[in-house]
Every structure is written in C-alpha cells, then in structure tokens.
Structure 1
C-alpha cells in the first residue's frame, strides 16, 4: 500500500525526468538544478548583476564561440559545431494553449461567480488569497520568491515521498480542525449577512 502511494507521488509530478529530479532519483540533475538556481539568485540578488546584461553577455559569448568554431572548422577541416534543430513543435504549442485555456476559463468562472452570482464565500477566499500573496510579496522580490519556489520544489516532494504516512495523518487532523472552525465561522458570521439570507430565501 505504501509503495503504491509512493508511486502515485511520482506520477503526480509527471512521472518523467522532472519527477525523477524533484524526488532526487537523478541526483546529478537535481544537484545541477539546485546549484544553477543558487548561482543565478546570488548573481542577480546579492552581486547586483542585471538580468538583461547577463542574458545579453551569455548570448554574445555563445554566438562568438559558435562563429569562431565554425570558421576554424572550415579552415582545419574539422566538424562544424553540433547545433540541433531548435524548433517548437505544433503539439507543444497546442498543449500549452490548452493549459492556458483551462486556467483562463477557471479564472473567468471565479470572476463570474463573484460578480454575477454574488458568491460571498468565494469572494472572501479570493480576497484572503490575494492579500496573502501581497503580504508575502512585501518581504521578498519576484526573483527571491522564484528561488524559494525552486528550493521548496526540491525539498517538499522528496520529504513527502519519504514521510508520506506521517504527513497524511497530520494533514487529516489539520483538515478536520480547519473544517470545524470554518463551519463555526459560517454559522456565526456568514449566515447573519442579509445577502446570504436573501439568497437562501430565493433558493427555497
């Protein structure tokens, strides 16, 4: 049973190379990702390097290397630089468009439920979520948040994979507690708001 659940964790992360990296099954790839993210964060956040200048310098260096490699190869009868055909497949574009469509429709559905349907509970959830994001953003900039996201993605899945039974037990207890408190708030506060009462009478 535990092994099946661990397999489910791997599948929930995509079941491919990305899942192997996040679960540290490919240690080399995980180390490269972690070191690369840390190096970039240090360059842009601590060393004060500009991301636009860094990108331009890297591209300039690559173009110069490829140019002189190709020239020397033609003079010395050496093979040309092995540059693959970098193309975005139509399948990848359609898949990305489908994902974007799902997210957009979900956002529009939430907006419609709030503005037209007058869903007070959903409105409070959205307000709290946006306030929480704004509160966290006041402490960190976007790059630091992105780096924290990389660190969490490299640590949380593997820890959950290792201690899944204990974590699920704690999450069930926390879920029951939050659900109980939410029902108390719902009964004591939300049900006393006139808009909620009117909607209930119309439904009846």
Structure 2
C-alpha cells in the first residue's frame, strides 16, 4: 500500500485556487490562523449560546465601536499630523468576483454531478454515502440548535480534514470494509423484501 492510493486533501479543499487560504486553515498549515479561528469561534459560541448575547446587538456594537475608533483616529491624525488609519482599498475588484463565481460554479457542478450519478446512473455506493451523511446531519440537527450545530461543524472542519490527511490509507480501508458490509446487508434486505412482495401476475392485473 503505497502513496499512489492517496490523493491531495489540500487540493480537494481548494488548494491552489481561490480557497487556498481556507485549505491551509483547515489543515493547520498556518497554525496561528487556525488557532485564532478556533478561539474566535469558541468565543462567539459562548457569547451567543451560554451568555445569551443577541447576534444583532453584538454586530451593531462591534460596528459602532469600530466606527468610533476609526473616526477618533482620523480626527486625532489630522490634529496631531499623524498617519491616517491603514485601511485597504475598500472595494471589491472584478477579478475577485469572477474568481468567487468560478469557485461557486465548480462546487455547484460537483453537487449536480452527484445528483446525476444517484438519480440516473444508480450509483449505490454514492447513494449510501449521501443518504448516511444526510441522516446523520438530520439526527444531529434534532439534538442541537442551529448555532451549536454550526459550532460543531467548525470543530469537525478543523479536525477531520487534518486527521484524514494524516491517516488516509487506514481510514480508506476501514470505510471500504464498512461499505462492503453495508452493501451485503442491503442486498440481503432487498432480496427478502422482493420475495415477500412478489410481482402480480398477468391474470391479477387483468382482474384489477
């Protein structure tokens, strides 16, 4: 079992494209940014979920504080002959919009290809993966509210990709074994259901 069976998790997460920074963040290649993202997400979850802080009030207060700081900084800079706040060029370039649209198109086409493989090609393995994933999301969503579920998603996104990138081959082996067991059980159940529910004969169809 060599490295030929492995694929680039970094590339799958968008590495080398618009989402290169996101891939580095999720794989902890820039650990300071990953830690900051984790700490910030935890702090926001604690404020809104445990402290009972209102999201609209929080955003308004943060923006108000930012506006006051920038206004006072600009006024003091003009009076004391100091440099103005180091703000970047506050506009979205056409290139950024095009790159974001291209990235969104890639993900949309990927989702449509999955739907086509399930609905038209009848891909049993892909159907099992998607159905299991949606069932797990539905079950977990019934246990937590949206904010906690979103925070759990952040924790998983910061842990699962890096673990899979490190232990890709043994994880793939375990998943293949689980898929084979599930496929055999599915075939057995489908066979039992077909035997218990035989198709109506031509004579029965004519009577109906």
Aligned pair 1:12/2:6, yes or no?
A: no
* Cα distance between partner residues in 2 of 1:62 and 1:3: 51
Counterpart of 1:166?
A: 170
Aligned pair 1:98/2:105, yes or no?
A: yes
Pick from 51, 64, 81 the counterpart of residue 77 of structure 1: 81
Counterpart of 1:27?
A: 31
Counterpart of 2:3?
A: 2
Counterpart of 1:202?
A: none
Equivalent residue runs for 1:1-204 within 5 Å:
1-2=2-3, 5=6, 8-15=8-15, 16-89=20-93, 90-92=97-99, 94-95=101-102, 98=105, 102=109, 132-189=136-193, 192=197
| Matched-pair contact (CA < 8 Å) for 2:5–2:169 | no
Residue 157 of structure 1 and its aligned partner are, at CA, apart by 1.2
Residue 105 of structure 1 and its aligned partner are, at CA, apart by 5.7
Distance 1:49 1:194, change over 3 A: farther
Question: Root-mean-square deviation (CA), in Å?
Answer: 3.6
Distance 1:40 1:135, change over 3 A: same
Gaps of 5+ in 2: 202-208
* Cα distance between partner residues in 2 of 1:178 and 1:137: 24
* Cα distance between partner residues in 1 of 2:107 and 2:166: 33
Matched residue SS, 2:143? coil
Distance 1:133 1:147, change over 3 A: same
Distance 1:57 1:184, change over 3 A: same
Distance 1:76 1:47, change over 3 A: same
Q: Taking structure 1 as the reference length, what is the TM-score of the superposition?
A: 0.75
Residue 137 of structure 1 and its aligned partner are, at CA, apart by 1.9
* Cα distance between partner residues in 2 of 1:179 and 1:41: 39
Equivalent pairs counted in the alignment come to 188
* Cα distance between partner residues in 1 of 2:129 and 2:170: 28
* Cα distance between partner residues in 2 of 1:51 and 1:132: 27
Deviates more, 1:70-79 or 1:11-20: 11-20
Deviates more, 1:182-191 or 1:42-51: 182-191
Counterpart of 2:204?
A: none
Q: Taking structure 2 as the reference length, what is the TM-score of the superposition?
A: 0.74
Distance 1:193 1:25, change over 3 A: farther
